[in-house]
């Protein structure tokens, strides 16, 4: 346990300047995507195996908490994709290593320029979903119960 | 493969012969699947989570998409590429911190089995999904 704490602390420590932050963000976003992906894949398979359970999970995922998580996953996918291109290009084009710092900055700028409008759109979807439910006298904060979906 | 030396101003390349072991293939596989996923995964996020929204996703919508073999193939490819890319990424991260060969071997076996089972289970679901069964 103490070695895990040491690993986490040392991983976070500022060492390699911009490249270190890119490396850390790539790692964390990758792990976050995989964590989500495992749930997402096994859940979507339920559309075939247990359609009632799948429909319940779709309702659960409309909860604002999951909506915010979805925005987080969008951020992770976009950053991981853009930084992944950078890693691949630099791996195959050593002549471009002199642009390491510049390319790391470009990836961050590209990420924010594309992510921010998307995040705002996704956030507005959550808000309109909640206000639609509120207009019907329901609440988007209620967590759906599985028993309501099983026939 | 090229080996590289020199300063950032002058790069010297020389050809080196590398054996095609698993780690080398996995390394290249991460780059290649990454390029594929740039289209498949980012495309999936844009289509399903921006143009469409989880806030109005229904099983009828899924059935409508999986009526076409085009969508079924897209999701099948995404499943295979994303899951193997992700599992290999996790293996890379873990091997950075776990230096016990026995434990790492056990983890590798577990991850490989998990990868195969997941792709078979979810792939079977996509292939056999019958839109007509959904009202």
If you average pLDDT over each of A6-15, A33-42, A137-146, which comes out highest? A33-42
Distance from CA of A98 to the nearest CA of B (A): 6
Domain regions of chain B by residue span: 30-133
Split into its structural domains, chain A has a count of: 1
Spatial distance between the Cα atoms of A112 and A75, rounded to a whole number of angstroms: 9
Query: Any alpha helices (H) in chain B, and if so which ranges?
Result: 22-46, 59-65, 69-97, 101-128
Q: How many CA atoms lie within 13 A of B18 on its CB side?
A: 13
Q: Going by C-beta distance under 8 Å and a sequence separation of 6 or more, which residues neighbour residue A96?
A: A89, A90, A103
Structure tokens at A118: 């998307």
Boundaries of domain holding A74? 2-148
The 10s digit of each residue's pLDDT in A73-87 is 999 999 999 999 999
Confidence of residue B4 (pLDDT cuts 50, 70, 90): low
Q: How many CB pairs under 8 A join A and B?
A: 109
The 10s digit of each residue's pLDDT in B56-104 is 899 999 999 999 999 999 999 999 999 999 999 999 999 988 889 999 9
The 10s digit of each residue's pLDDT in A41-50 is 999 999 999 9
Closest Cβ–Cβ partner in B45, B59, B128 for A51: B59
CATH of the domain at A132: 1.20.1300.10
Mean of the pLDDT values across residues A14-22?
78
Spatial distance between the Cα atoms of A37 and A32, rounded to a whole number of angstroms: 8
Mean of the pLDDT values across residues A49-64?
95
Predicted local distance difference test score (pLDDT) of residue B25: 92
Predicted local distance difference test score (pLDDT) of residue B3: 61
Distance from CA of A106 to the nearest CA of B (A): 17
Predicted local distance difference test score (pLDDT) of residue A14: 65
First to last CA, chain A: 46
């Amino acid at each position: 346990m103490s070695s895990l704490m040491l690993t986490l602390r040392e991983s976070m420590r500022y060492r390699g300047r911009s490249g270190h932050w890119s490396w850390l963000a790539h790692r964390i976003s990758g792990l976050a995507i995989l964590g989500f992906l495992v749930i997402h894949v096994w859940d979507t398979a339920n559309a075939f195996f247990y359609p009632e359970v799948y429909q319940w999970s779709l309702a659960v995922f409309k909860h604002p908490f999951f909506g915010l998580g979805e925005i987080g996953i969008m951020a992770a996918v976009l950053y991981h994709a853009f930084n992944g291109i950078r890693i691949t290009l630099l791996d195959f084009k050593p002549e471009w290593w002199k642009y390491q710092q510049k390319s790391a900055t470009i990836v961050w700028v590209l990420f924010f320029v594309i992510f921010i409008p998307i995040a705002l759109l996704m956030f507005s979807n959550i808000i309109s979903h909640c206000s639609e439910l509120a207009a019907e006298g329901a609440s988007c904060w209620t967590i759906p119960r599985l028993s309501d979906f099983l026939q | 493969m090229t080996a590289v030396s020199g300063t950032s101003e002058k790069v010297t390349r020389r050809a080196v012969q590398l054996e095609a072991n698993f780690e080398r293939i996995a390394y290249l596989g991460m780059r290649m699947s990454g390029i594929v996923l740039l289209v498949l995964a980012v495309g999936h996020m844009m289509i399903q989570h921006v143009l469409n929204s989880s806030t109005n996703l229904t099983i009828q919508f899924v059935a409508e998409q999986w009526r076409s073999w085009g969508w079924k193939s897209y999701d099948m490819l995404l499943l295979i590429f994303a899951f193997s890319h992700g599992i290999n990424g996790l293996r890379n991260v873990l091997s950075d911190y776990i230096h016990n060969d026995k434990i790492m071997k056990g983890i590798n076996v577990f991850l490989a089995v998990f990868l195969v089972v997941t792709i078979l289970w979810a792939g079977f679901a996509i292939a056999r999904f019958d839109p007509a069964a959904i009202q």
